[in-house]
Structures are given as structure tokens and as C-alpha cells.
């Protein structure tokens, strides 16, 4: 392991920080996917995110960790503008994807969400058949034409989500009849069926048992070959297992953004170290 051990700093990264990780992960891909600059967010008068800077790289898993209420999920929802749905939210700063500001008035949030899919904390399949759960969105976005094409896409999405073998004989049963872990993989299949660039996962395994969790983690590892994955997790072992980069959030700020191995073996900040070792949060 050729991890560069950086100087330990006690203060969190200042606002002038460039948004790049403290230590580079040599195995990771470094093409830029989403660039976040000076991003602040208010719920009414309460500021939830304070001038965040971060570069998210393509075809990696980036984990967001931190104590409850630190803004991880809020930040995640900024990336596909799900915060628009909450009344009284005000966003400032830049979230740039593919050279475009996603918060610009010209940006259509529907187009954005086609390219930035999302998986939620609680599995939430549509109360329709398994087949319809997958086929609905591609059909809506005119990605498929004929029935055969649609069948093929459903199979591919379910295979990619590692669910095909389990459900191929009951595609027309309701999606809600599956187990929790299967439902969550169905939601992942639903997200990748529209071939997005980025998949946001908001604590995707927090409602699942350990075996289903392990399955989802393996799946994330496979999916990152094609997709950029940003996941929020409360489970630090999970972050250590699946993520290439990890960002530690605290009180609406990104305290440390680092190579995962470095973050867990030799964090650059005192706060991150305290949190990771369980002395805090």
C-alpha cells in the first residue's frame, strides 16, 4: 500500500479547500462526475449545508458518513434535486454535472433525474408487478419501443441487479411480495433500467438483514464498473468495505474527504478520527 500519510491537521478543511480528497486512491478512477462548489442549503432559516466543496469521481463508490443530522442525506438529495420537493428549501452554490449547473433555471429536473437515479432507505417498489416496476420508467422516457425490447431490458436490469434468477418465474407478481432485500435490489434494478450515470443510495441497507446487506454490497461493487455510486451509510464497516472515497460530514460541513483506506487507517482530522474510532457521534 502506497498511501501517503499526510500531515495531521486538527482543524477541519477550510472553505478554500479545493474539494479534492486529502489522499488520492491509486486504484480509483479520477474522471470528474459531479463537481460541487460552495454549496449551501437552508431549511427555512436553518442552514443545513455550509459551503460544501467536493469532487465526485466517475465509476467509484463514494461513501458519505457522519452522525445523524449532519447533512449527508440532504447533500445527496441536492445531487438530483429531490430537495425541490420540500417546501422552504433554498440552495446556493454550484452542483455541476457534465459541464452544466444542475440548479440552473434552464436545467429540467426530470432530465437530471434520468441521469442521476436514486435508491431510498426503505425499499419502495411501485405497487405494480415486478416487470412493471422495471419497465415503467424506460417506457416513460421512450427508451424502448417494441415489447421484445422491453422484455430484454427488464431481464438485463434484473440480471445487473442480481435478482433475475430469483424472480424470472414470477415477473408478474407484485413487487411488494418480495422480501426486503429483494425489494431493495428491485429498486436498484429500477434505477439502472434507465441507464443513468450516477446512482444515489440513501442508506440502502439500513432496513435489511446482514445477508441481504452483504448481497447489496457485492452488487455495489459490481455496479461501480458502469455507474458512479454515491451512498450514505451509518455503517462504517460498510463504508470501509465498499467505498473508494469517503467523505465525513459533521454539522453541515465536509470535515474530511479522503481515500477510504486512509480515512479508516490514518484520518487527516481529529474529528474524523474520533468519529471512526467511536469516541464521537
Q: Which residue lies nearer to another protein by CB, 17 or 176?
A: 176
Q: Which residue lies nearer to another protein by CB, 190 or 261?
A: 190
Residues between 46 and 85 with contacts to another protein, criterion CB under 8 A:
80, 82, 85
Q: What are phi and psi of 25, to 5 degrees?
A: -85, 115
C-beta of residue 259 within 8 angstroms of C-beta of residue 266: no
Neighbours of 87 (CB within 10 A): 7
Name the minimum Å distance from CB 79 to another protein: 12
Name the minimum Å distance from CB 34 to another protein: 17
Distance CA 52, CA 249 (A): 10
The answer to whether 86 contacts another protein (rule: CB under 8 A) is: no
Sign for the CA dihedral angle at 161, 212, 78, 83 comes to positive
The answer to whether 34 contacts another protein (rule: CB under 8 A) is: no
Answer for which of 2, 87, 106, 210 binds another protein (CB under 8 A) is 87
Q: Which stretch binds another protein (CB under 8 A): 42-50, 135-143, 223-231, 259-267?
A: 135-143
Look at residues 281, 278, 240 and name the one whose alpha carbon lies nearest to residue 261. 240
Name the minimum Å distance from CB 110 to another protein: 5
Answer for which of 52, 154, 163, 194 binds another protein (CB under 8 A) is 194
Name the minimum Å distance from CB 90 to another protein: 14
Residues between 90 and 129 with contacts to another protein, criterion CB under 8 A:
110-111, 113-114, 117-120, 122, 124-127
Residues between 157 and 176 with contacts to another protein, criterion CB under 8 A:
176
* Contact residues for 141 (Cβ-Cβ < 8 A; gap 6+): 114, 194
Q: What single string gives the DSSP state of each residue in 86-113?
A: STTEEEEEEEEETTEETTSTTS-HHHHH
Answer for which of 48, 187, 216, 229 binds another protein (CB under 8 A) is 187
Q: 32-43 and 89-97 as β-strands: parallel, antiparallel, unpaired? A: antiparallel
Interface ranges with another protein (CB under 8 A) = 80, 82, 85, 87, 110-111, 113-114, 117-120, 122, 124-127, 136-137, 140-141, 176, 187, 190-191, 194
Amino acid at each position: 500500500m502506497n498511501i501517503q500519510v499526510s500531515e495531521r491537521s486538527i482543524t477541519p478543511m477550510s472553505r478554500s479547500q479545493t474539494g479534492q480528497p486529502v489522499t488520492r486512491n491509486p486504484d480509483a478512477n479520477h474522471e470528474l462526475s459531479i463537481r460541487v462548489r460552495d454549496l449551501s442549503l437552508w431549511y427555512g432559516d436553518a442552514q443545513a449545508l455550509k459551503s460544501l466543496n467536493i469532487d465526485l469521481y466517475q465509476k467509484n463508490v463514494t461513501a458519505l458518513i457522519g452522525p445523524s443530522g449532519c447533512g449527508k442525506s440532504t447533500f445527496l438529495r441536492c445531487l438530483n434535486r429531490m430537495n425541490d420537493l420540500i417546501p422552504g428549501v433554498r440552495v446556493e452554490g454550484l452542483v455541476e454535472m457534465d459541464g452544466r449547473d444542475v440548479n440552473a433555471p434552464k436545467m429540467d429536473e426530470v432530465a437530471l433525474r434520468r441521469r442521476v437515479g436514486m435508491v431510498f432507505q426503505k425499499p419502495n417498489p411501485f405497487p405494480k408487478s415486478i416487470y412493471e416496476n422495471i419497465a415503467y420508467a424506460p417506457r416513460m422516457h421512450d427508451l424502448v419501443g417494441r415489447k421484445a425490447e422491453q422484455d430484454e431490458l427488464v431481464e438485463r436490469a434484473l440480471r445487473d441487479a442480481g435478482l433475475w434468477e430469483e424472480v424470472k418465474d414470477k415477473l408478474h407478481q407484485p413487487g411488494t411480495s418480495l422480501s426486503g432485500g429483494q425489494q431493495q435490489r428491485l429498486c436498484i434494478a429500477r434505477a439502472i433500467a434507465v441507464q443513468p450515470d450516477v446512482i444515489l443510495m440513501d442508506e440502502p441497507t439500513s432496513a435489511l438483514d446482514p445477508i441481504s446487506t452483504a448481497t447489496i454490497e457485492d452488487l455495489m461493487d459490481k455496479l461501480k464498473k458502469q455507474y458512479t455510486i454515491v451512498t450514505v451509510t451509518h455503517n462504517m464497516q460498510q463504508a470501509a468495505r465498499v467505498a473508494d472515497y469517503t467523505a465525513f460530514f459533521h454539522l453541515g460541513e465536509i470535515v474530511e474527504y479522503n481515500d477510504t483506506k486512509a480515512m479508516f487507517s490514518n484520518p487527516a482530522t481529529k474529528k474524523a478520527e474520533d468519529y471512526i474510532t467511536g469516541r464521537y457521534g
